[in-house]
Amino acid sequence: MFQSLKDRSSFGGYIRFTIRFFQFVLAITVAGLYGYDVNNARKAHIYADPKWTYAVVVAALSAISVFFFLFKYSLRFFWDVVMVILWAVVFGIFGKMYIDDHPTPHQSGQIRMKNAVWVDLANLILWFVTFVWDLILHFTRMDKMTLHTGRAHV
């Protein structure tokens, strides 16, 4: 059920843990950056923009997903690719809105959102790295699993 001690104590396991840790930290960061505006909309008794709500939901899914990756299962790269697509959409939406902007120092909200776009890109890159990593691990270890339970090594 949990990753074996051998998998977790290998050099690759340490790298994977480090990447997952940064995925969690950046997801919480994105939730805070976008959640700030969602909360302001709530306080003003207006509906939050769906784009901001989408970004907060993707950040929450990312943070929760990191904990599910403590469990070992062979097809985790499928969820990684889903997260890559979700983060690509977040980056595309907000990148188009804020990358070309040149806010003045008095436009702190726009400065914050422009910085949030780069955090979105970092999330996209980290999820892509873990997708490729898990995909490689899946296909290099696939021949070592039995057909019956997938737990025994041949």
In SS3 terms, 107-135 reads as CHHHHHHHHHHHHHHHHHHHHHHHHHHHH
pTM: 0.78
**DSSP letters along 81-106, please?**
HHHHHHHHHHHHHHHHHHTT----TT
SS3 71: strand
Burial of 43 (0-12, 13-18, 19+ CB in 10 A): exposed
133: tokens are 């990593």
If one counts every other C-beta atom within 10 angstroms of the C-beta of residue 145, the result is 15
**Token digits for 20?**
């997952």
* Domain-wise residue ranges, the chain: 5-144
Which structure tokens are listed for 90?
């977040």
pLDDT of residue 74 exceeding 70: no
pLDDT in tens, 81-129: 999 999 999 999 999 999 998 888 888 888 999 999 999 999 999 999 9
